[in-house]
Amino acid sequence: MSQEPTSAESSIKRPTAPPESWPKHVAMIMDGNGRWAAERDQPRIFGHQQGANTVRMAVEHCRALGIEALTLYSFSSENWKRPQAEIDALMQLCTEHLVNERASMVKNGIRLRWIGRESPLPPSVVKELRKTEEATSGCEDMQLVLAINYGSRDEIVDAARSLATDVAEGRVRPEEIDPDLLESRLYTAGLPDPDLLIRTAGERRLSNYLLWQISYAELHVTDLCWPDFDLDALNDAIDDFASRKRRYGGITPASG
């Protein structure tokens, strides 16, 4: 259960829409770090380092607003195609971030959850992910979900394999498989589906991210590269979400 906001949290700049209209689960595709760095004649890793500061802002602000869950697309299963030097730097940055932020996450009631495949992540990254999951397992204010070595098609394949094994071994009958059962085998089992998906750097595609879970999410795209995505931009995205009419395939009742 979320705590009442402290005086410091009450004084932060908030979206203009009323809190009851805010999303409960926000997912983000954090794009544009490399582009942002190139525009400043800096190496790509400089953009990722600056992007880590934006991650901190997003986590702290969502927690202060009472958002229940924040899911960040940190490293996709396709990102292994990048130059090895960049991959190594990203893995090191991930490890350092987990170590440096662990105590703060515990203090602020933020529970970490990792989604994605373990192989071929470096053991050092897996170790720090597991340590942070364990250290924050009792936290209840907000869930922070990191999608690392994540691909939505892989996730759905893994869920299908799990169900196929249960069918083959007689634990599940084929006719018992429905959306709820399949969803229970996804990496995100137990999490509410995202209400809002934010993508930075102007790209208008899903990039193999949470394809099952965002079936009814509202999409917000900003031209800002991730290092430039600030508190105002996050509030604007929440206000944009609050302005939408969510019908889930139905129609809006006529007024009057």
Separation between Cα atoms, residue 142 and residue 193, nearest integer Å: 15
Separation between Cα atoms, residue 204 and residue 80, nearest integer Å: 22
Separation between Cα atoms, residue 137 and residue 124, nearest integer Å: 20
166 is catalytic: no
Expressed in angstroms, the distance from the first to the final Cα of the chain is: 37
Q: What is the DSSP letter of 30?
A: -
Amino acid at 167: V
Q: Which of 33, 41, 53, 79 is catalytic?
A: 79
Q: How far is CA 189 from the centre of its chain?
A: 14
31 is catalytic: yes
Please name the residues in contact with 246: beta carbons below 8 A apart, sequence gap of 6 or more.
216, 218
Separation between Cα atoms, residue 61 and residue 84, nearest integer Å: 33
Burial of 174 (0-12, 13-18, 19+ CB in 10 A): exposed
Cβ-contact 118, 149 below 8 angstroms? yes
- Spatial strand order of the sheet with 25-29 comes to 110-115, 142-150, 69-76, 25-29, 196-199, 218-221
**Cα 182–188–189 angle (5° rounding)?**
55
Q: Which of 31, 33, 235, 240 is catalytic?
A: 31
Catalytic residue IDs:
31, 79
